[in-house]
Amino acid sequence: MAKAGLNRIDMPKQAVAKRIQNFSEVATGYTPSDAHIEAARCLQCKKRYCVEGCPVNIDIPEFILALREGDMPEAARILKKTNSLPGVCGRVCPQETQCEQACILNKKEVPIAIGRLERFVADWEREHSAEVNLPKSLKPKSGKKAAVVGAGPAGLTASAELARLGHDVTLFESLHTAGGVLMYGIPEFRLPKDIVQGEVEYVKSLGVKIELNAVAGRLFSLDDLFKQGFQAVFLATGAGLPLFLNVQGENLNGVYSANEFLTRINLMKAHSFPEYDTPVKKGKKVAVIGGGNVAMDAARCALRLGAEEVSIIYRRSEVELPARKEEVENAREEGIKFHFLTSPVRFLANEQGKVRAMDCQKMELGEPDASGRRRPIPVDGSEFEMDIDLAIIALGTRPNPLVMQSAPDLQVNPNGTVAAGISGQTSHKAVWAGGDIVTGSDTVISAMGAAKRSALVMDEYLRSL
Partner 1 sequence: MYTIIERQDLLPKVHLLKIQAPKVAAAAAAGQFVILRVDTEGERFPLTIADWDAQAGTVTVIYMEIGVSTRKLAKLGKGDAILDFAGPLGKPTEIENFGTVVCVSGGFAMATIVPIARAMKEAGNRVISIVGARSKDLFFWHDRLTKYSDEMIVCTDDGSAGIKGLVTEPLRDLLSSDTKLDRVIVIGPSVMMKFCSKTTQPFGVKTIVSLNPIMIDGTGMCGCCRVSLDGQTRFACVDGPEFDGHKVDWDGLLVRQKSYVAEEAVASERCRCKEEGCGNHG
Residues that bind partner 1 (CB under 8 A): 174-176, 184, 212-215, 218-220, 240-242, 244, 246, 250-253, 256-257, 259-260, 263-264, 268-269, 273-279, 281, 352-353, 400-402
As measured in angstroms, the least distance from the Cβ of 58 to partner 1 is 30
CB-nearer residue toward partner 1: 266 or 330: 266
As measured in angstroms, the least distance from the Cβ of 257 to partner 1 is 4
As measured in angstroms, the least distance from the Cβ of 162 to partner 1 is 23
As measured in angstroms, the least distance from the Cβ of 333 to partner 1 is 29
CB-nearer residue toward partner 1: 110 or 215: 215
As measured in angstroms, the least distance from the Cβ of 413 to partner 1 is 18
CB-nearer residue toward partner 1: 44 or 350: 350
As measured in angstroms, the least distance from the Cβ of 223 to partner 1 is 13
Q: How many CB atoms lie within 10 A of CB 350?
A: 13
As measured in angstroms, the least distance from the Cβ of 154 to partner 1 is 16
CB-nearer residue toward partner 1: 425 or 439: 439
